[in-house]
A and B are shown apart, each in its own frame.
Chain A
Amino acid sequence: MSSADANSATTKKFGKGERTVPHHTQKASKFYPAYDEKQPRKTRKSIKPTKYRESLQPGAVLILLAGRFRGKRVVLLKHLDQGALLVTGPFKVNGVPLRRVNSRYVIATQTKIDISGIESSTLDKVSKPDYFVREKKSKSEKGEDAFFKQGEKPEAKKPTSARATDQKSVDKPILSAIKKQDMLASYLASNFSLRHGQRPHEMKF
């Protein structure tokens, strides 16, 4: 018997007539349940697409405020979903790789860099959510051998060559755009910090 007709009704003959008997799972229950089963509450909210600040336009120079690269000035490439932004250093200038950052922990400046030279196909590839997913450990790293290797120094994680080429292909047109403007490269290489008497809420960026 295949699973398709497992729950189907069967036809039975009784003397001259016949009738269809529903499958026992289709029959109404004889008893009410003693306890009410809890129904999950229906959500009345829906996930709305994030509305980004107007100053966060692709090509804008941002100042990162949190995370490992706080204080760095980076270039905004694209809006991702759920309030995330795709940024790059460029890596050669200030060591910031292609990276997702939270748009809340960022100051947008009025400085703009032309990023129209970036190929849209590479940008699309790089902005997919699974691009940034951590690689899963293989079995050998998890198993018995790994247990005995715990005391040893782990090998340093290295970026894959595919990532490096992606980084280069994204950064190349940005770097040529940066070169055109005086002092822009050293500006991006420098870190942001507040100096004496500077109040961030009164400053213009």
Chain B
Amino acid sequence: MSNAQRAQTFLQHIDQATERLLSRQLALVRIAAEQEKDTPTMAVETAEIEASATSIVRAVEDLLVVTRSLKEAWILGQIRQDLPEPTEDEIQNRKDALKQVFEAISKQSG
């Protein structure tokens, strides 16, 4: 999948989730305000209220998934930087230390 496609998918997900969030919230408020209805309609609306609540939660979870995959793509998708090359001084220090170690070892032979 190319980067443009991925971006498109992400945007689509965000749009869908936001749309769902808003429309469900609207539905909740609308249903809550209406009173004069017959029993079967009320029963359906009762179910709709709970479904809307679940749907809102689901939409937020979807948004979380989007941020999660964005972070993942960002963190895992970057090119790793090489460790910095040691400077001349550092190399010299290492060489000196190594020499000292070898000298110490050979001195033991005395």
Partners in one complex: no
Residue positions of B touching A, CB distance < 8 A: none
